[in-house]
Amino acid sequence: MSEAFDRLLAMALVLGVDPGSLLTGYGIVNEVSGCLHCVAFGVLEGKPKDSFSQRLLQIGESLSEIIREYKPKAMALEKSFYAKNPDSATKLGQVRGVCMYVAAKARVPIYEYSPTEIKSQIVGNGRAGKDQVQFVVQVLLGLPAMKKFDMSDALALAIHHVRWSMTQVRMQEREIQQ
């Protein structure tokens, strides 16, 4: 086995995070022998009646627990996108910041991807709807219907990062062989 292949195996367990101020989706995907497997997925929910700072704390603590339990080798995080409501954009940025802090503190490398990039790679159309992304994720991972798009979006991020990592390793392998 090559050194590049060993690095790929080390990157195979990926945590995808779809940040949101009310619901933050997470999904953990593993790649074994070219096959994708869903390890875990769900949503991190703060209590709606709690203050926003308390919800940030709850998201951070829950994400820390997930990282401790599953020990992902990378975190794929959705990049911020343009929002018409400045308050919503600010809150989303704060949730992203908490997620990045928690991962960085746990020494988990962070990779960011835009929604368009994920949709293009997963569905083949950068303007695909959340229902289309969810359907493809379910088919790829052999999962039943999911209750929240946040879960399937997080799994899509993880799948994309696993595929991107595999491509990078293959390209390095070819360079070494030439």
Q: Give me the CATH number covering residue 86.
A: 3.30.420.10
The pLDDT tens digits for 109-125 are 999 999 999 999 999 99
Q: What is the DSSP string of 49-75?
A: TS-HHHHHHHHHHHHHHHHHHH--SEE
Q: How far apart are CA 82 and CA 80, in angstroms?
A: 7
What the block records as the tokens of 165 is 């990592």
Q: Which residue range forms the structural domain that includes residue 134?
A: 3-177
User: Into how many domains does the chain fold?
Assistant: 1
Strand partners, 15: 28, 75
What gap in Å lies between CA 99 and CA 178, rounded to an integer? Answer: 40
Q: Kindly list the catalytic residues.
A: 18, 78, 150
Give yes or no for residue 1 having a pLDDT over 50. no
Residue 77 vs residue 2, higher pLDDT: 77
Q: What is the pTM of this model?
A: 0.90
- Helices 149-177 and 115-122 pack at an angle, to 10 degrees, of 80
Residue 142: φ, ψ to 5°: 65, 45
42-76 pLDDT, tens digit each: 999 888 889 999 999 999 999 999 999 999 999 99
Tokens for 24, please give them. Answer: 């933050």
Token digits of residue 106: 């746990």
Q: Which two tokens stand for residue 74?
A: 């990378």
Q: How confident is the model at residue 82 (pLDDT cuts 50, 70, 90)?
A: low
- Average pLDDT score over the chain: 89
pLDDT at 88: 86
Q: Which of 20-24, 62-66, 102-106, 164-168 has the lowest mean pLDDT?
A: 164-168
Q: Which two tokens stand for residue 54?
A: 């308390």
- By the 10 Å C-beta count (0-12 exposed, 13-18 middle, 19+ buried), 4 is classed as middle
